[in-house]
Amino acid sequence: MLKLYNTLTRKKEEFKPLKKGHVGIYSCGPTVYWYQHIGNLRTYIFSDILKRILIYNGYKIKHVMNITDVGHLTSDADTGEDKMVKALRREGLPLTKESMLKLAKKYTDVFKEDFKKLNIIEPNIWSKATEHIKDMIELIKKIEKNNYTYKTKVGLIFDTSKFEDYTKLGRLKLKELKKGIRVKTDPKRKNLSDFALWITNQPKHLMQWLSPWGRGFPGWHIECSAMSMKYLGNTIDIHTGGEEHIPVHHTNEIAQSEAATGKKFVRYWLHARWLIFKGEKMSKSKGEIYTISALEKKKYSSLDYRYFCLTAHYRTQLEFSYKNLSAAKNAYQRLKNFISEIKNDKKINRKYFKEFEEAINDDLDMPKALTILWKLVRDKKATGKIQTIKKIDQIFSLNLLKKEKIKIPEKIKKLVQEREQERKKKDFKKADKIREQIKKRGYIIEDTSKGPKIKKK
Ligand code: AMP
Ligand code: ZN
């Protein structure tokens, strides 16, 4: 039985999809105005693990992810510049629609490349905001027809006081919401939590469309409602995202979707907690971010990072530092070394596999699952190791059984040859000395009947 922690109820619940055997999942995707940092990617590794566990439990998955290429303003208060325009300025590109689409493509491509490197299964549908403006307009029309909106100079606004359950997902105390800039920039705003569905009166904005409310562009939240309902129906099984989306973005998604359809929008809300850097959320706006290619330059592989993420439960924050990443990298390397020594005996170890299954089905307890894997690998009496690891790695996806082709430096090869010569001369003292030298440089030699085997330490 698979249990998932639902933010809506703040409880672990047994997962039961709407349609037997099928699961619809929507994940809030990236705003493609810059590289996705490893914090963002932690959240996508989490949704990948979720998918793999659902697949393991026999479900057919339909997974949709959006690509935000319009409408995400620098402030949650429906003000500020569009993040995409800000990026054009940063990169010294012309402020045209064409260069904006080019920029979006550039960062989308890098994002998809990172997915491949991290062994993340791609969604079945990538949906770009700019290609779904019509769907958004149709959805907003329904919300307006159901009397949840009013107009101000900013555009068409959602009246959150008309939606009874507005505070439910975030357990929000609206009275305590700070009087923010929303009121100042939009004096006609009725409630501090109200948000724009369609933004007008911004003649300088690059991408604009005609709509019943005037020329303009969609508010950021509406894209996720429109695209998830288009591909997955009015009620979807699972919606994922980072923890900061609980009080605003996802709260607004629920309000506008349910205002339009009168039906429950999402049955299970799953939120990943942040990757932390120096005590704070890793964030693009704070400037100091790390990308997969930055890690690679420092000789950490993408799968070292995947292993690092799996050492923490998705509902706990994870502190990033090179020291922590190095510890994970070493553990991962050691694990693979151990595994490379194991002989295959074509069975499954039922006892260990059952323990593993219980861990993953208990709200994706990957740290526990990892401990079980280590126990299995180290258990001298256990049988069926390789076939069990094979199954386990369908979830971890850490290429645990892939034989690594290591590139041996010329210097090491030379030392190995020298050692062989000393051995032939039966000067084992000298040979051992050379072995030590090789070890110091990070390699170990194993003497086999076919000659010396070189491995990374
Ligand atoms: P964005 O491109 O900023 O819209 O973020 C894309 C996804 O990454 C969202 O689901 C965010 O919640 C998530 N995210 C952003 N920052 C972090 C972080 N430091 N750790 C984990 N997830 C994050
Ligand atoms: Zn979203």
pLDDT tens-digit map of 227-276: 999 999 999 999 999 999 999 999 999 999 999 999 999 999 999 999 99
Domain range enclosing 192: 3-272
125 has pLDDT over 60: yes
pLDDT band at 453 (very low <50, low <70, confident <90, very high): confident
Pair 54, 160 in one domain: yes
Nearest CA to ligand 1 atom 6: 30
The reply to whether 421 falls in a domain is yes
What pLDDT score was predicted for residue 77?
A: 66
Q: Which atom of ligand 1 is nearest to the CA of 40?
A: 8
Out of 48-57, 69-78, 232-241, least confident range = 69-78
The reply to whether 40 falls in a domain is yes
Beta strands 443-448; 451-456: pairing state: antiparallel
Instruction: Output 97 or 38, whichever has higher pLDDT.
Output: 38
Pair 101, 139 in one domain: yes
The reply to whether 130 falls in a domain is yes
CATH number for the domain harbouring residue 286 = 1.10.730.10
What pLDDT score was predicted for residue 86?
A: 86
pLDDT band at 208 (very low <50, low <70, confident <90, very high): very high
Ligand 1 centroid–CA 242 distance in Å is 5
Pair 248, 157 in one domain: yes
307 has pLDDT over 90: yes
Mean pLDDT rounded to a whole number for the chain: 93
What pLDDT score was predicted for residue 394?
A: 98
Nearest CA to ligand 1 atom 9: 242
Contacts of 411 (CB under 8 A, 6+ apart): 441
Pair 35, 129 in one domain: yes
What pLDDT score was predicted for residue 70?
A: 82
Q: Please identify, among 272, 298, 326, the residue that sits at the C-terminal boundary of a domain.
A: 272
Nearest ligand to the CA of 315 is 1
Ligand 1 centroid–CA 37 distance in Å is 8
Q: Which atom of ligand 1 is nearest to the CA of 42?
A: 21
Pair 256, 390 in one domain: no
Ligand 1 centroid–CA 123 distance in Å is 17
pLDDT tens-digit readout, 10-21: 999 999 999 999
Nearest ligand to the CA of 29 is 1
Nearest ligand to the CA of 64 is 2
Which residue type does 240 have? T
Q: Please identify, among 216, 248, 272, the residue that sits at the C-terminal boundary of a domain.
A: 272
Q: Please identify, among 239, 272, 305, the residue that sits at the C-terminal boundary of a domain.
A: 272
CATH number for the domain harbouring residue 220 = 3.40.50.620
Cβ atoms within 10 Å, residue 288: 11
177 has pLDDT over 80: no
The reply to whether 122 falls in a domain is yes
The reply to whether 405 falls in a domain is no
Pair 55, 27 in one domain: yes
Q: What is the mean pLDDT of residues 310-335?
A: 97
Pair 97, 154 in one domain: yes
Which residue type does 294 have? A
| CB half-sphere exposure, 189, CA atoms < 13 A | 22
Task: Name beta bridge partners: 447.
Answer: 452
Pair 421, 333 in one domain: no
Pair 345, 295 in one domain: yes
Question: Which mutation among 7, 33, 42, 43 tests ligand 1's pocket best, with the greatest number of atoms within 8 A of CB?
Answer: 43
Q: What is the mean pLDDT of residues 120-141?
A: 97
Pair 316, 442 in one domain: no
pLDDT band at 222 (very low <50, low <70, confident <90, very high): very high
Nearest CA to ligand 1 atom 1: 30
Residue in the block written with tokens 């402030």? 75
Nearest ligand to the CA of 28 is 2
What pLDDT score was predicted for residue 23?
A: 98
The reply to whether 284 falls in a domain is yes
Ligand 1 centroid–CA 296 distance in Å is 21
What pLDDT score was predicted for residue 186?
A: 81
What pLDDT score was predicted for residue 184?
A: 60
The reply to whether 403 falls in a domain is no
pLDDT band at 287 (very low <50, low <70, confident <90, very high): low
The reply to whether 195 falls in a domain is yes
Pair 203, 327 in one domain: no
pLDDT band at 71 (very low <50, low <70, confident <90, very high): low
Ligand 2 centroid–CA 402 distance in Å is 36
Number of structural domains in the chain = 3
Beta strands 318-320; 280-281: pairing state: unpaired
Within 6 Å (CB) of ligand 1, which residues are found? Answer: 28, 30-31, 39-40, 42-43, 241-242, 244-245, 272, 274-275, 281-283
Pair 153, 224 in one domain: yes
Give me the percent of the chain exceeding a pLDDT of 90. Answer: 79
Contacts of 35 (CB under 8 A, 6+ apart): 107, 110, 289, 291, 293
Is the Cβ–Cβ distance between 78 and 188 less than 8 Å? no
Q: What is the mean pLDDT of residues 67-86?
A: 78
Q: What is the mean pLDDT of residues 408-431?
A: 92
What pLDDT score was predicted for residue 204?
A: 81
Ligand 1 centroid–CA 244 distance in Å is 8
